[in-house]
Amino acid sequence: MLKASSLYIVIIISFIIALICSSLIAAAYFYRLNYQKKFRSDKLQNNLESGINLLLSESETPYRETEKVNLFNNDADSVITGKLPWGVFDIGTVRAFIQQDTLQKSFMIAKNIDSANWMALYLIDEDRPLSVSGQTLIRGNVRIPKAGIRAAYVDGKAYKGDPKFVDGHIYNSEREIPAFGKQRLEQLNNAFSDTSRSSPFPIGDSLVKNSFFKPTLLLKTDGKSVIKNMEIKDNIVLYADTTLYIDSTARLDHIMIFARSVVFGQGFKGNCQVFARDSVVVGKGSVFTYPSCIGLLPEPGRKTGISPKLSIGEATRFEGIVFYYEKEKPTIPTIISFGKKDKITGQIYVQGTVSLKDSVEISGSITCQKFLYQSNSSSYENFLINTRISAKALSPYYLTSDLLPVTGRKKKILLWLERN
């Protein structure tokens, strides 16, 4: 007869075996659960990337808020994509989903530079040479009048730069600047009047934010408005029928502004796209981070009279695009002015006259009809004084807008906005 203790041993061994088996079953269950979760996550990520690539394809995707796309002709692999014009760029949104699991990203879309036509300087030919003085530096290819480039002595400053004048190839320019992109111009002009769905501006709020996965929030200010002590972010468009003043205490991120006139207070810091009919004035010491844009677009068919104005205060750092366009040539020339020691990284594209004060630095390119230098006693046309223009100083990763003619075909992600 077996001893009673043997029964206890059998029970203990059985318990241990059962414990091991249940552990193995539990481990297999959780492994399968994690595997399915990882598989679903990878599938979502792959579908998300496919949706992004679809928006970045060279074929022109139509603008629409959202569209459901079946990838690989399979309902299980579906994404919701969206694309809307956002100033001089586009916004893309992609949402991939499987049951309750969702991955989504929003991003800004731009285009690469057409390197074959990229110029550090494009000055149209009005039968006058370009004159340089002081420590003026031009690096990169240029298109200038057939009259060429020469050294000049201005305000006690002789030319002290490279004897070749230009570190790059010199080509002859035409009598008109290359044309702006018609579709983008039309979108911008139409946007000034797109206020039917706008809401009153929320006075007193410290934060106004709207996701790019939601419909665009249109806000309209009344009268002469001042924005201060608040943050406005993402998918928001501000409208103003008169002058909109933005104080240095305001923080703007990725929003757009369409107004009659806009004034930025001294020391403003932010990121935005600003479009005005009459004027834009930027206070000194301001900082606009990439990718910002300031555009002066006088109303088509306006009566000639007071000239539109775009003025960038001294010691301002601007990263992005500054442009001026007017279909009809104005009676009074429009002057776009940059202050002393301004640093511009990006592109200046002006269908008019550019006034550059002493010691302006441009890392990128500038295109205009003529230059104007004003000293205390005199004015000089097509003179550059202590100006540094360098296409080579611009980042190789810089992306531009199809508003400008030096745009390549390839679309790329300029900036990630939201992701989860």
3-state secondary structure of 54: helix
Q: For residues 219-231, give the mean pLDDT.
A: 86
**101 shares a domain with 163:** no
**127 shares a domain with 104:** no
Neighbouring C-beta atoms of residue 300, cutoff 10 Å: 10
Q: What is the CA radius of gyration of the chain?
A: 29
Burial class (CB in 10 A: 0-12, 13-18, 19+), 399: buried
Q: For residues 12-34, give the mean pLDDT.
A: 77
pLDDT at 255: 96
Which residues, listed in sequence order, are joined to residue 252 by a DSSP beta bridge? 232
Residue 267 has pLDDT above 90, yes or no: yes
Q: For residues 216-227, give the mean pLDDT.
A: 86
**86 shares a domain with 163:** no
pLDDT at 67: 72
**133 shares a domain with 212:** yes
Find, among 291, 296, 256, the residue nearest to 399 by Cα: 291
Residue 143 has pLDDT above 80, yes or no: yes
Write the pLDDT tens digit of every residue in 247-265.
999 999 999 999 999 999 9
**181 shares a domain with 91:** no
The domain total for the chain is 2
Query: Positive or negative CA dihedral for 130, 135, 136, 137?
Result: positive
Q: For residues 75-93, give the mean pLDDT.
A: 87
- If pLDDT is split at 50, 70 and 90, which confidence band does 53 have? confident
- The answer to whether residue 404 sits within a structural domain is no
pLDDT at 304: 63
Query: Positive or negative CA dihedral for 337, 162, 404, 415?
Result: negative
Residue 2 has pLDDT above 60, yes or no: no
- If pLDDT is split at 50, 70 and 90, which confidence band does 38 have? low
pLDDT at 91: 94
Backbone angles phi, psi at 191, to 5 degrees: -65, -25
- If pLDDT is split at 50, 70 and 90, which confidence band does 76 have? low
**86 shares a domain with 180:** no
**Residue carrying structure tokens 């301002």:** 316
**91 shares a domain with 235:** no
Cα dihedral value 383, 386, 392, 396, nearest 10:
-100
**85 shares a domain with 159:** no
Domain enclosing residue 142, as ranges: 119-390
Residue 404 has pLDDT above 90, yes or no: yes
pLDDT at 326: 86
- Give CA separation, 399 vs 89, 121, 290, in Å: 10, 18, 10
Amino acid, single-letter form, for residue 55 = L
**151 shares a domain with 109:** no
**319 shares a domain with 268:** yes
pLDDT at 320: 97
Backbone angles phi, psi at 31, to 5 degrees: -65, -45
Residue 301 has pLDDT above 90, yes or no: no
Q: How many angstroms separate the CA atoms of 115 and 392, rounded?
A: 12
Query: In the listed set 88, 113, 138, which residue is the last one of a domain according to the structure?
Result: 113
Query: In the listed set 64, 86, 113, which residue is the last one of a domain according to the structure?
Result: 113
**124 shares a domain with 38:** no
Q: Which residues contact 98 (CB under 8 A, 6 or more apart)?
A: 40, 43, 44, 76
pLDDT at 72: 66
Residue 36 has pLDDT above 70, yes or no: no
Please check whether residue 126 is in contact with residue 81, taking contact to mean a CB–CB distance below 8 angstroms: no
**328 shares a domain with 190:** yes
Cα dihedral value 26, 32, 35, 41, nearest 10:
-100
pLDDT at 117: 86
Query: Positive or negative CA dihedral for 110, 113, 119, 122?
Result: negative
Name the region of 73 (left: φ>0; alpha: ψ -120 to 50; beta: rest): left
Please check whether residue 240 is in contact with residue 221, taking contact to mean a CB–CB distance below 8 angstroms: yes
Residues of the chain above pLDDT 90, percent? 59
Q: For residues 377-393, give the mean pLDDT.
A: 91
- The answer to whether residue 216 sits within a structural domain is yes
Q: For residues 402-416, give the mean pLDDT.
A: 91
